[in-house]
Homo-oligomer: A and B are copies of this chain.
Amino acid sequence: MGGAGVTHRTASTNPCAHTVMMDKHPFDLALKLSPNEPGVYSGATSTAYWNMVGPFGGITAATALKAVLLHPALLGEPISLTVNYAGPLADGPFEVAAKPVRTNRSTQHWLIEMTQANAGGADEVMLTATALTAVRRPTWGSEDSPMPTVAAPAGFAEEKPMTGVEWIHRYDMRFVEGAFPIEWKGQGNSSLSRLWMRDTPARALDFCSLTAMADIFFPRVYLRRALRVPAGTVSITVYFHANGAQLGESGTGYLLGQAKAQTFRNGFFDQTSQLWNEAGLLLATTNQIVYYKE
């Protein structure tokens, strides 16, 4: 990892950027972490990925994963990641610590914590996460969730689903179905969205950007009710079905994302989602539980 304070990164030490040039991409700038000691990094929120009352949850989850991927003791590649949002990060510096709590022959278990000094100067826990990384081996396999048959990305217009939210501008989103409501009159009847998505400007896919895109789906309650109800993700889990080579093959192509809720009840609903690349390979499945106010 180099000594403390070393911030120059190369392709070999930055698992979330394939070339040094990509350090200039807004995503890589947002994910810039400086090592304090192995597994403990300083970072800062990015206004480029600002949401309503804190950063876009996807960029925060990607930052948690990056702390794991940067760790000198890392074994294998990501298999699962669960991120719990304890409170919204304020605009400014934070610290993220990733600790391998158990390393087996081919699997490794991680605890991740993100802290930020509050107004009184005391460190507060802003995020907790766990991750599993593993060395994958070739096995029998079966692709049991074929990508829905939809027209190619070029056949759909780029849309910005929400206004007044900066991070939306960091993605090219093309809704196939279940776009952000244009009218807010309570006319909703489904929570299903399908959309093509990629970073803008285009950026080669990796585990961090896939993690961020797993959180790209706007709150299902907006769509289901066609009402703008205060809502925010409290916990997200991502299962990575592809290895790094398969993500590399996805390149700068679009991903097809699909999301729907299973139930809305007493202040919380879930979202269950899939992400395929343009070739139809299922890259990740992801679930989240979301708070909503009314």
Contacts and interface: CB of A to CB of B under 8 A. Distances in A.
B132 A289 contact: yes
Interface in A203-243: 224-225, 229, 234-235, 237, 239, 241-243
A294 B140 contact: yes
A107 interface: yes
A122 interface: no
A291 interface: yes
Nearest to A227: B140
Range class of the A interface residue count: 35 or more
Given A87-B102, A241-B270, A141 B264 contact: yes
Nearest to A286: B287
Interface string A6-17: 000000000000
A293 interface: yes
A132 B289 CA distance: 10
Contacts of A101: 86, 113, 125, 128
Interface of A is mostly: strand
B128 A130 contact: yes
Contacts of A263: 141-145, 241, 282, 285
Contacts of A294: 139-140
A89 interface: no
A137 interface: yes
17 contacts: A80-B235, A82-B82, A82-B235, A101-B128, A132-B234, A134-B234, A138-B266, A139-B294, A140-B264, A144-B191, A144-B261, A144-B264, A235-B237, A239-B287, A241-B262, A241-B265, A262-B285
Q: Which 9 A-B pairs have CB atoms at the shortest separation, nearest pair first?
A: A86-B102, A82-B82, A136-B266, A145-B262, A141-B265, A86-B109, A102-B125, A101-B125, A80-B235
Interface of A: 79-80, 82, 84, 86-87, 101-102, 104, 107, 109, 111, 113, 124-125, 128-130, 132, 134, 136-145, 191, 224-225, 229, 234-235, 237, 239, 241-243, 260-268, 270, 272, 274, 282, 285, 287, 289, 291-294
